[in-house]
Amino acid sequence: MNLRMLDDLDLNGKKVFLRLDLNVPIKDGRITDETRLLEAIPTIRYILERTHKVAIGSHLGRPDGAVDLKYSLEPVGVRLAELLDREVCFVSDYMQEPYDQTLGQLSPNQLVLLENLRFHAGETSNDPDFCRHMARGIEVYVDDAFGTAHRAHASTVGIPELIPSQRRGAGLLIDKELKALGGILERPEAPFTVIMGGAKVSDKIAVMLSLINHCNHLLIGGAMAYTFLKFKGVAVGKSRVEVDRMDLVESIFRSAEARRVQIHLPVDHGAASAFSEQAKREEVDSASLPAGLMGLDIGPKTVAAYSSVVSRSRTVFWNGPMGVFEWPAFASGTMAMAQAVAACSGRTVVGGGDSVAALNKAGVASKVTHVSTGGGASLEYLEGRTLPGLKVLMR
């Protein structure tokens, strides 16, 4: 993808709108996972070396177009100031007074952080008036929010469209993401293993069909595994099954067979009689589940089999947990896969919020080749879609 990058832009002394993905988890006013914030620092520093007139825009959570202070970016501004050793001027009233005037009055040791863009309905609706207001006085647009590149919102599409094309480009994180994800599609070293988990086949069908064109093994876990097992005629007890999606599962099996891709399904389970954090875990030592139980995690035999495939792989992509890993009784399968991916000597790429959270929980994120901040954006990119937030940055 031929994007205009940072080193293609004249930033010197210019007023810059920098779109970042600072959608970090916050509890009791404290950031509990700084991954996205830390990934944004290199681009911020690069720009600040050339101009201090920087306004950072981001969203946090889903406040639905209204001010909701539990989604305020102010705690992020406090931490950003600490990391950059600069004063962060937090601007919450930018709809009343044009913030480009504030940019013109900054000292060299200051930068601007705008309050949550999604406090305004015009952000998600890509409202033309909102875009014009936000683009006023801005000379250069930089997007480094890969996690929102699949959204055609004001800050990812509408605002940059008002800036001349030669003055808008992608940041260092987007460059890093595209090189890592592009390597999976263009030149994966075999054996290439895809680990796919999560709740619904329907959410992952497009990316699975795309990756089957490139991979050798597809390991399936999470709730979606029970739809696959049901299709194969295996008893799944009370497990959640998308009975209306069997045609999608059939298409995956057909595509895999045509390309000689081996699909691996759970051979044992961590199960319970109810979908509850307080439910007692019961080990089921077979692929079939009894009528009164539902699968909530992969079992130890599946962990061993999947880990063996991963250990022999030269390329691994993982998206989605192997079970309800938020609940301690059903976290062991996902934690074991995090350890297996981290131990793999090949190129390993992990995308999606839950998978990244599992890596962090297991303390092994630093041992993975690339941890994507993208979530939905990374999946849509791997599906082969042209993301609107990237299209607007093309030369």
Which residues belong to the active site?
36, 200, 353, 376
What per-residue string of b and e applies to 211-221 under the rule 16 or more CB within 10 Å gives b?
Answer: bbebbbbbbbb
CB 382 within 8 A of CB 349: no
Q: Residues 6 or more apart from 12 whose CB is under 8 A from it?
A: 50, 51
Report phi then psi at 254, rounded to 5: -65, -45
Give the pair of three-digit tokens for residue 41.
């620092």
**DSSP H stretches of helix in the chain:** 35-48, 74-84, 99-104, 121-125, 128-135, 159-161, 172-186, 201-211, 224-231, 246-258, 300-311, 332-343, 353-362, 376-383, 388-391
Report phi then psi at 389, rounded to 5: -70, -20
5 forms beta bridges with 170
Alpha-carbon dihedral 248, 250, 256, 257, rounded to 10 degrees:
-160
Query: How many C-beta atoms lie closer than 10 Å to residue 96's C-beta?
Result: 7
Give the pair of three-digit tokens for residue 140.
């250069």
**SS3 state of residue 287:** coil
Report phi then psi at 21, rounded to 5: -105, 90
56 forms beta bridges with 18, 113
Give me Rg for the CA atoms of the chain: 23
**Counting beta carbons within 10 angstroms of the beta carbon of residue 327, is it exposed (0 to 12), middle (13 to 18) or buried (19 or more)?**
middle
CB 378 within 8 A of CB 177: yes
Look up residue 5 and give its DSSP letter.
B
